[in-house]
Homo-oligomer: A and B are copies of this chain.
Amino acid sequence: MSYAAFTKKVARINDLLCTANLLVWDARVMMPPGGVEARGHQLATVTDYARLLAVSSGMQRTIDSALEDLRGAAEDDPRLRAVRAASDGIAVLSRIPGSLLAEAAELKTRGQAVWAKARAANDFDAFAPLLTRTVEIQRQIAEAIGHDGHPYDALVAGYEPGMSWARLQGLYGEIKAGLLPLIDQALGKPRPRTDFLDRSYPVDGQKRFASAIAARMGYDFSRGRLDDTVHPFEISFTRGDVRITGRFRENWLPGGLFAVWHEAGHGMYEQGIDPAFTRSAFTTDFINLYAVGGASFGMHESQSRLWENRVGRSRRFWELHFGALRDVFPEQLGDVSPEEFWRSVNVARPSLIRVEADELTYDLHIILRSEIEAALICGEVAVKDVRALWAEKVEAYLGLKVESDMLGVLQDVHWSSGMIGSFPTYTLGNVMAAQLFETAATKPGIAEGLDTGDYAPLRSWLGDNVHRFGRSRTPEAILIAATGRGLDVAPYLRHLAEKAAAMGDS
C-alpha cells in the first residue's frame, strides 16, 4: 500500500519533469520569438512543483513508510532499490537550499543571453562577472551537497554517480599519455583529401540519408521524430516519445549526418529502457530534476559516441553505405571513393573548437576544461585568470595559439547555463563506448552484423546490457556486468591507436 503511494507520487513528479522536457523541446524547435518570456515562467513553475513535491515532508513520510513496509525485502528487490534511488537523489536535492536553486535558475536564464552577446563581441570581460557569480553559486551548491575533499566532486557526481576529481585525474593522465604521441604521429602524415565535403548538398537529401541510416541503426521513428535546430540534442517524454534534432548545412556534409547518428544513439538508449520503468524512480533524475532514463550523463554519451564514431566513422560502414549516399548526391560525390570518404571524416588535426574536434584530439578539449573548472570551484584560479590559463593549456595540449575569446574561453554554452562538472562526462562517454564496443564485438553475430550492415545484433546487445536498466544500476555496475570490469581506458586507447594506424596506412 505505501509502496503504491510511493510509485504514484514518483509518477507524478516524472509527469511534471517530462512536461518540463516538452517545454524545453518546444522552445528550441517550435516556439515563435514572442513566447520566450512566458516560457521561462512556465518552465520554472513546472520544475519548481516537481522539486516541491520531491522535497516535501509528505514525500519523506511516503518514503519512510515504504521502507518500513519493505523491511525484510531482499537487497536486490526492485521495489527496495526504487525507493532507495529516489531517497538518495532527494536527499541530495534537499540539501540544496531552494533559494540557491532559484538564483542558479535565474543566472542560467540571464547567462545565455549575456554569454551569446559576449561571444559575438569576442569579449570575455563582458562575461566574467556572470561567470564569477556562477562559480560562487555552484561552489555553494557543492558545499551544501557535501564532499570528502574537493568541492568539484560534489558537482561531478551529480552528472556521474561515483565519479570524483581524483579518479578523473588518474584517467586523464592515462589518456594524455596515450593520446599525445598518437597526435604527433598523425601530424606527420599527409592530409587526406576533403575537398568534396563542402560542395553543395541539398538538405533534404542529407536528411533522408541520415534518417534512413538512423532507422537502420535502430532508432524507432514511431516513438520519436527528427527536427531541425541550431544545436542538435535528444530529449524524451517517456520511452514512447524520444525526439532528436539535427542541424544540416548545405555546404558541410558530415556535420548533419554525424549529429543525427549521435543523437540517435542517445535516442535508442531512452527508447530501450524497460517499459516497467516508465514514470518511475528509474527514469527520474532527482538531483538535476530531469526526466531521463540513462544511468548517467557519461553512460548516455557512450551510446551517442558509439553509434556516431565506432559505427558511423568506421571504414566498413562507408564501404557498405557510401553507395547509397552517392545515389542521393551522384554529381557531388561522383569523383569520390568509399575509402576517400571514410578518410575525409576521420582527419585528425588539432583545432581550437571542441565541437569540431576529431576523435583523436577531442578529449584534450575536455581535459583542459575539467582542469579549469576544478581549479575555479576550489578557488585555486580566479575568473579573471581563466582566459590566460585557457591559452596556456591549448598551447600545451594542442600546440595551438588561441586567437580570440570566441575561439577560446567563450566557445561553449555550458558555463553560461550553470553546468560546471558536466564536461568530464564527454570523455567518460568515449571511454565507456570503447569498452562496451570492444566487448560487444566478441559476441555472437555482432561483428558479422557490422560487416554486413545489420546493426540489429549490436543494438540488441546494448539494449540487453545497457539500455533496459535505465537508472536502476550505476554506470559502474553496468560496465562490470557487461564487460567484466569497471571503467578501463585501455580499449579506448587501443581503438584510437588502431584508427591512427589505419589512417596512416594509405
Chain A residues engaging chain B, CB cutoff 8 angstroms: 11-12, 15-16, 18-19, 22-23, 26, 30-39, 41-42, 44-46, 49, 220-225, 237-241, 243, 278-279
Contact = CB atoms under 8 A, between A and B. Distances in A.
A405 to B, nearest CB: 32
Nearest to A25: B26
Contact of A240 (B34, B45, B279): B34
A239 B38 CA distance: 9
Given A32-B241, A241-B35, A278-B38, A15 B223 contact: no
Contacts of A240: 32, 34-38
Contact of A18 (B12, B18, B42): B42
Copies of this chain, complex-wide, total 2
B19 A220 contact: no
B41 A222 contact: no
Nearest to A17: B42
Given A18-B42, A19-B19, 7 more contacts: A12-B45, A16-B49, A19-B42, A32-B224, A36-B240, A41-B279, A49-B49
A238 B38 contact: yes
Contacts of A45: 11-12, 15-16, 19
Nearest to A223: B34
Contacts of A279: 38, 41
A42 to B, nearest CB: 5
A15 B35 contact: no
A243 B220 CA distance: 28
A15 B225 contact: no
Nearest to A41: B15
Given A26-B26, A38-B238, A279-B41, A221 B15 contact: no
Q: Which 10 A-B pairs have the closest CB atoms?
A: A35-B241, A34-B223, A34-B240, A38-B238, A15-B45, A15-B42, A12-B45, A19-B42, A35-B240, A15-B41
Contacts of A238: 35, 37-38
A39 B225 contact: no
A438 to B, nearest CB: 32
Contact of A23 (B22, B32, B39, B41): B22
Contacts of A39: 237, 241
A237 B38 contact: yes
B19 A222 contact: no
B33 A30 contact: no
A8 to B, nearest CB: 10
Contacts of A42: 15-16, 18-19, 22, 237
B30 A222 contact: no
Contacts of A15: 38, 41-42, 44-46
Contacts of A30: 30, 225
Nearest to A20: B19
A180 to B, nearest CB: 45
A149 B81 CA distance: 57
A312 B206 CA distance: 41
Looking at A41, A44, A225, the one whose CB has the most chain B CB atoms below 10 A away is A41
A221 B31 CA distance: 11
A222 B26 contact: no
A46 to B, nearest CB: 6
Nearest to A12: B45
A6 to B, nearest CB: 16
Nearest to A239: B34
A30 B239 CA distance: 16
Q: Count chain B CB atoms within 10 A of each CB in A26, A38, A220, A278 and give the residue with the most.
A: A38
A238 B38 CA distance: 7
23 contacts: A15-B38, A15-B41, A15-B44, A19-B42, A22-B22, A26-B26, A30-B30, A30-B225, A32-B222, A32-B223, A32-B241, A33-B222, A33-B223, A34-B220, A34-B224, A34-B239, A35-B237, A35-B238, A37-B238, A38-B240, A38-B278, A38-B279, A42-B237
Nearest to A220: B34
A241 B11 contact: no
Contacts of A31: 241
Nearest to A35: B241
Contacts of A221: 32
A361 to B, nearest CB: 37
A104 B45 CA distance: 26
A479 B44 CA distance: 38
Nearest to A45: B15
